[in-house]
Amino acid sequence: MKRTISSVLAGAAALWLGLAALPGTAGAQTSETAIFAGGCFWCVESDFDHVAGVLDTTSGYIGGEAQNPTYYDHEGFREAVRITYDPSKVSYDKLLEVFWHSVDPTDAGGQFCDRGYAYTTAIYATSDEQLKEAKASEAAVKKDLGEVATEVTTAPKFWDAEGYHQDYYKKNPLKYKYYRTGCGRNSRVESVWGDKAFMGIKEHMG
């Protein structure tokens, strides 16, 4: 009898594990990742943290050749933000909309007061489907603005930035607001996009 009960329990466990691996069950993927470079990663984090369906944002570095880049040594890397989101609550298309309308896609030399490659804009797709959607959105923005300097490519390795950069706008609200205003980020985005500026996060921008 003990052997029979053990066999039944083992079979039940195997069945549960098998079901968990099927789409739409407990083992199914519940989050996805998007990566955007939009100038200062403090600002990109702040913007996307106010999008419903975004679960987490992480500032970091992407695109360079070296290992373990740091804030003081990330030549060839862009500042970027890795976004973890719930696709049942927010689509990748929606994230693309927020991204484009919170940066200046026409600037090939950086963003706002921050100049140089590290601050240039890019969309780093984490899947073939994302790349397809990103390319389509790029074409739409070109029609809207006439030119786009933002790179759209497949994501290489993303390196997390130092801890003091994470959630900087929460940890240092006064310094952050002073920087964002002084750098001219909001005013430039409004100049480029007009009524479409900060689409999807206008409430957050006030």
User: Catalytic amino acids?
Assistant: 40
Within the chain, residue ranges assigned H as helices are 2-20, 41-49, 92-100, 128-145, 168-171, 173-183, 185-193, 202-205
Interatomic CA distance for residues 200 and 7, integer angstroms: 55
Q: Tokens 């500026």 label which residue? A: 197
Task: Give Cβ neighbours of residue 32 (< 8 Å, ≥ 6 apart).
Answer: 84, 85, 87, 92, 126
Using DSSP bridges, classify how beta strands 114-115 and 110-111 pair: parallel, antiparallel or unpaired. antiparallel
Q: Tokens 């039940």 label which residue? A: 12
Give the pair of three-digit tokens for residue 171: 């940890």
Amino acid making up residue 60: G
Interatomic CA distance for residues 75 and 93, integer angstroms: 31
Give the pair of three-digit tokens for residue 178: 């002073």
Task: Give Cβ neighbours of residue 71 (< 8 Å, ≥ 6 apart).
Answer: 161, 162, 165
Interatomic CA distance for residues 173 and 175, integer angstroms: 6
